Amino acid sequence: MHVPRWLSLVSVLAAGTMVGVPTAALAAPAAPSQASVAVNAARQAAAGAWQAFEARAAARFHPHAAAAETPLARTAPGTAFSKITDVGSASRDTVPSSTGIEPDTQVEPDVAIDPGNPAIITAVFQQGRNGPSGGSADPGYATSQNGGRTWVDGNLPMLTTVVGGPFQLASDAAVAFGPDGSDYAQTIPFDEKGARSAVAVQRSTDGGVSFGPPSLVVDDNNVNIFNDKNWIAVDDSARSPHLGRVYSVWSRFVTTGSGPSAVTDSPGAVSFSDDQGKTWSPVRFTTSATADTEGLIPLIHPDGSITVVYDLSVPNAANPKHGNDYETAQTSHDGGLTWSAPVTIGQFLGSGVPGIRTGGLPAAAIDPANGHMYVVWQDARFNPSGLNDIVLSMSADGGQKWSVPRVVDPMVAGLDRFTPAVAADAGAVHVTYRTRGANGTAASVSEDYIASTDGGKTFGFEHQVGPPSVLRWAAVSTESPPPVAFLGDYMGLAAAPRTAELFWCLSSKPPFNGQFHQT
């Protein structure tokens, strides 16, 4: 067990044919080929697609005629989920630093609660952020087995070179529990200099206190393939014919051609495991091979059906250089083998936040009690100043129809809201987001929380949780100049029937000399 370190948390209280990946696959290639030392064209294209997405968001940051919106009613103070407790620390980055690595930085957490024992909570996150190329030195984890009061933490073992693994970097950590208490941490490991790119899953059998070696869902050593923006879910429903199935979903960037004529698509990919992550099914695509997706999130229904929610980029015929983005859903009723046609949830109309990489992708959750699904994202259509609010859309029919997006947060002049998360259970819906004042230019960013106890029809009062993050000490992304602060493309939020657990990163003055301190 490790000594508890730092990462901010709050507990909110209230009344097919399987294909094995051999162990040898974890070793680096025996002899570097030309491809292994060449520039990964697909990874460059993925970075370019993200920069284009950010540029579209930045262009929306301007005064405009706001769309009409009916505000959600507010509930009376003192209702359920209004008590904030156990705001504390869980982890701090101590992995060795190297060229390009920003020491003392933890970013982009995800968190999960064991459905069989809500006292067990695990969060995962990047550590030692790599500013120039993305990813991190090695993702870490923090686990509580007493409802969030105390924590143990560690580094995901045998993944990156800094902890004895074969990959140079790893990114996009996500976590999920299985019905037997297995705890699964998922990442995207890749080589900064070279072609290798994979999806990795590591299992804990002791409630998140320690994790085993990586099992590779896919392992590509091809300059024209890059695996990005993954997520994981486990079927925990006793009614499901696929109880215990572990799903990995991600965007698979594939480049064809070369030079100016090269084209890169990023279809949604899925693979599943029925043996606790030891072996994985062949990769299938949820979308067409030419779709451009990002940020897939799997939601498993009580009957075992699975819906994926993601951002779909669609070219603009009138202006090919500026596409449109739509929050989109697809559903499988046969365990991920075949998928329905895409269903549009709503258009993404979020704006950029000056000096910060905000994420901008949708967050999604399903209530395991009734199968209602909720999707949230930052959106400027209702704000005349061009600032973001957080909007929510829900589906009660398995993802065929979605409600018109409505603003969740109190609309306050001068406040910019971004990077939301959502969780749901037992009819309650929890939403968190980052908030920045001074029309999106303040020196600090807060973490805010709001909840509904009637399935998202009405929401209670907004709570600011914990101290604000001071951007001066935050991790920095230099992937697309100029350098900007980076808190993460997502934050962590999970729910049980009577509790919610919030995980976010907090930047503050270093306890010793240093440029960064983000925990």
* pLDDT at residue 341 in the model: 98
Ranges of the chain with pLDDT below 70 = 1-38, 73-79, 319-321
What pLDDT does 358 receive? 85
The widest CA-to-CA distance across the chain, in whole angstroms, is 66
CB crowding 23-38: b at 16 or more within 10 Å, else e:
eeebebeeeeeeebee
Asked whether 69 and 447 are in contact (CB, 8 A), the reply is: no
pLDDT at 76: 57
Condensed to tens digits (0 to 9), the pLDDT of residues 374-426 reads: 999 999 999 999 999 999 999 999 999 999 999 999 999 999 999 999 999 99
Nearest-5° angle of CA 283, CA 277, CA 364? 70
Q: Which residue carries 């959750």 as its tokens?
A: 365
pLDDT, tens digit, 9 for 90 and up, residues 312-358: 999 877 765 578 999 999 999 999 999 999 999 999 999 999 999 98
| pLDDT score at 159 | 98
Given a contact cutoff of 8 angstroms between Cβ atoms, the answer to whether 118 and 496 are in contact is: yes
Strand order through the sheet with 293-300: 293-300, 306-314, 324-332, 343-347
> So what's the pLDDT on residue 20?
33
Q: Which residues pair with 437 in a beta bridge?
A: none
Q: 344 with 326: CB under 8 angstroms?
A: yes
Give the helix ranges, DSSP H, for 105-237: none
Which is it for the CA torsion 81, 370, 231, 140, positive or negative? Answer: positive
Note the pLDDT of residue 125: 98
413 is written with which tokens? Answer: 């002049």
For residues 299 and 50, what is the distance between their CA atoms, to the nearest angstrom?
24
